[in-house]
């Protein structure tokens, strides 16, 4: 297909497609002549990925670049690429680093949850520590049983989400699905959770 049709099918404007081509986020089409190129379904899929990341994740361009590099990298297993991809997705860096106590609590939670495959140097451990520090200034110590139930629920959620990835596809499609799941389903989760909390607040706190 030509670029105009690619724009139509992907819902991404021609100007943005040209920008992604310049930035190396989208592979060039097959050249038909000096000024014409042919695009295919792989281009549509990649544009969908970029669109979801932009609309649902507000990921800056350097994050997109790291993500696309991870999606295209074939040097390791799908899992080995997913870690770096998640690193690129993990939100804003903190204004200041978390304390050693908060970091050690973060590591403890990961261990208690049984998530032994998380890289010891995964940046997400620091982000978790920062969030724990913000919450911690509130001063409440949560009940350990509740924490355990909470971790177990999140474990089930993550297993369900990743288990939904269609494995009958090529590697790049699977990676794209995993990344879209991270971002878009993260937003979906927060939205559904707000609705669920409104419901439960009625049950618990209506007079």
Interface residues for a second copy in 145-184 (CB under 8 A)?
A: 146, 149-151, 153-166, 174, 177-178, 180-182, 184
Q: Which is nearer to a second copy, 14 or 32 (CB)?
A: 14
Figure out which of the listed residues 33, 75, 140, 170 binds a second copy, where binding follows CB under 8 A.
Answer: 140
CB of 1 to a second copy, least distance (A): 17
Residues numbered 184 to 203 that lie near a second copy (CB under 8 A) are 184-203
Using CB under 8 A as the binding rule, whether residue 35 contacts a second copy is answered as no
CB of 170 to a second copy, least distance (A): 13
CB of 78 to a second copy, least distance (A): 4
Provide the phi-psi class of 201: left if phi over 0, else alpha when psi is between -120 and 50, else beta.
Answer: alpha
CB of 7 to a second copy, least distance (A): 14
Figure out which of the listed residues 17, 64, 86, 88 binds a second copy, where binding follows CB under 8 A.
Answer: 86
Figure out which of the listed residues 83, 99, 105, 172 binds a second copy, where binding follows CB under 8 A.
Answer: 83
Q: Which is nearer to a second copy, 13 or 80 (CB)?
A: 80
- Return the closest-CA partner of residue 106 out of 92, 120, 94: 120
Figure out which of the listed residues 15, 137, 144, 168 binds a second copy, where binding follows CB under 8 A.
Answer: 137
């Amino acid at each position: 297909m030509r670029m105009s049709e690619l724009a139509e099918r992907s819902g991404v404007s021609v100007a943005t497609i040209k920008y992604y081509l310049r930035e190396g986020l989208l592979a060039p089409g097959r050249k038909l002549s000096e000024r014409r190129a042919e695009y295919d379904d792989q281009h549509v899929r990649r544009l969908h990925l970029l669109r979801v990341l932009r609309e649902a994740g507000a990921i800056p361009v350097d994050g997109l670049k790291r993500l696309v590099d991870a999606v295209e990298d074939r040097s390791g297993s799908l899992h080995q690429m997913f870690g770096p991809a998640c690193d690129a997705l993990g939100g804003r860096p903190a204004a200041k680093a978390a304390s050693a106590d908060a970091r050690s609590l973060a590591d403890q939670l990961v261990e208690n949850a049984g998530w032994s495959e998380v890289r010891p140097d995964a940046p997400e451990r620091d982000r978790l520590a920062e969030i724990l520090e913000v919450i911690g200034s509130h001063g409440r110590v949560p009940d350990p049983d509740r924490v355990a139930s909470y971790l177990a629920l999140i474990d089930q959620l993550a297993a369900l989400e990743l288990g939904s990835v269609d494995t009958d596809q090529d590697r790049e499609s699977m990676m794209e699905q995993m990344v879209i799941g991270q971002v878009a389903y993260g937003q979906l989760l927060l939205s559904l959770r707000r609705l669920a909390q409104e419901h439960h607040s009625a049950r618990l706190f209506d007079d």
